[in-house]
């Protein structure tokens, strides 16, 4: 196994978040072929298209339901079987951080190898610089600082979304993104990379705010 105990659980949590998101994406790709979602013969729609300003909430609820159902199965059934709760070495939080950073580096290399070096540098340089400073701890101030570091890693992406939404007249931003993913404007590869990055962010955020007295003792003595 790549890691023991709680470190393995953290890696599985990241993987399960990704799989739950992938389940929602699968439902999203099916919905345009049903009467439940608006169907464009050619997508994307033009700017100021009325459909972009009037989200359909039933498809959104179905996607969220698929993610919730998949997440429930994975976290309540699979996780306890694959990684029972228990001690995991001297500093499990630090071990988890090491593996999550390794997965971040692997994701960046995959994106770079696919010919998207600019995107890799633009969106992942900041988390690559900030996330290694996350230090699991039992202290509330340190855990708050950890969370700020994790969230700051996504600042470039959030800023890009905001600028894109305010520059182009594309209606409700989250609805535009869902339509773009549903109709293939965003390729499956791009969506899966986004889900992988979101899963790593969620797992790192969970690690950042978790009380970890063992890490405190290890850092003080090591």
In this prediction, residue 222 carries a pLDDT of 53
The alpha helices in the chain, defined as continuous H runs, are: 5-30, 57-73, 79-82, 92-113, 117-130, 140-152, 155-167, 173-182, 188-209, 213-221
Is the torsion defined by CA of 190, 193, 199, 200 positive or negative?
negative
In this prediction, residue 87 carries a pLDDT of 47
Among residues of the chain, what percentage have pLDDT more than 90?
46
- Print burial letters for 59-93: b (CB count within 10 Å at least 16), e (below 16): bbebbeebbeebbeebeeeebeeebeeeebeebbb
171: which residues sit within 8 A by CB, 6+ positions away? 48, 49, 51, 52, 53, 54
The alpha helices in 117-187, defined as continuous H runs, are: 117-130, 140-152, 155-167, 173-182
> Which pLDDT band, with edges at 50, 70 and 90, does 28 fall under?
very high
Residue pair 41/84 in contact (Cβ under 8 Å)? The answer is: no
What mean pLDDT is predicted for residues 105-121? Answer: 86
- The mean pLDDT of the chain is 86
> Which pLDDT band, with edges at 50, 70 and 90, does 4 fall under?
low
Q: Which of 8-22, 61-75, 84-98 has the lowest mean pLDDT?
A: 84-98
In this prediction, residue 61 carries a pLDDT of 97
Instruction: Indicate whether 90 pLDDT > 70.
Output: no
In this prediction, residue 29 carries a pLDDT of 95
Residues in the chain: 222
Instruction: Indicate whether 45 pLDDT > 70.
Output: no
What mean pLDDT is predicted for residues 2-27? Answer: 86
Residue pair 32/183 in contact (Cβ under 8 Å)? The answer is: yes
Cα–Cα dist 190/200, whole Å: 15
Burial classification of residue 220, based on how many CB atoms lie within 10 Å of its CB (0-12 exposed, 13-18 middle, 19 or more buried): exposed
The H or E element spanning position 214 is: helix 213-221
195: which residues sit within 8 A by CB, 6+ positions away? 18, 21, 22, 25
């Amino acid at each position: 196994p790549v890691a023991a105990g709680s470190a393995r659980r953290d890696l599985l949590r990241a993987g399960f978040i990704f799989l739950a998101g992938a389940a929602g994406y699968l439902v999203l790709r099916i919905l345009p072929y049903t009467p439940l979602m608006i169907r464009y013969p050619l997508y994307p729609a033009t700017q100021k298209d009325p459909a972009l300003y009037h989200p359909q909430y039933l498809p959104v609820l179905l996607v969220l339901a698929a993610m919730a159902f998949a997440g429930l199965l994975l976290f309540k059934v699979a996780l306890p079987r694959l990684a029972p709760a228990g001690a995991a070495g001297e500093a499990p939080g630090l071990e988890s951080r090491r593996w999550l950073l390794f997965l971040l580096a692997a994701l960046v290399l995959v994106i770079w190898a696919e010919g998207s070096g600019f995107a890799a540098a633009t969106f992942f340089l900041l988390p690559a610089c900030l996330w290694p400073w996350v230090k699991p701890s039992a202290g509330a101030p340190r855990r708050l600082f950890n969370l700020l570091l994790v969230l700051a890693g996504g600042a470039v992406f959030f800023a890009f979304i905001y600028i894109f939404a305010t520059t182009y007249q594309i209606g409700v931003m989250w609805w535009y993104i869902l339509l773009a993913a549903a109709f293939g404007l965003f390729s499956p590869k791009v969506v899966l990379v986004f889900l992988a990055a979101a899963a790593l962010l969620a797992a790192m955020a969970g690690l950042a705010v978790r009380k970890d007295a063992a890490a405190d003792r290890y850092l003080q003595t090591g």
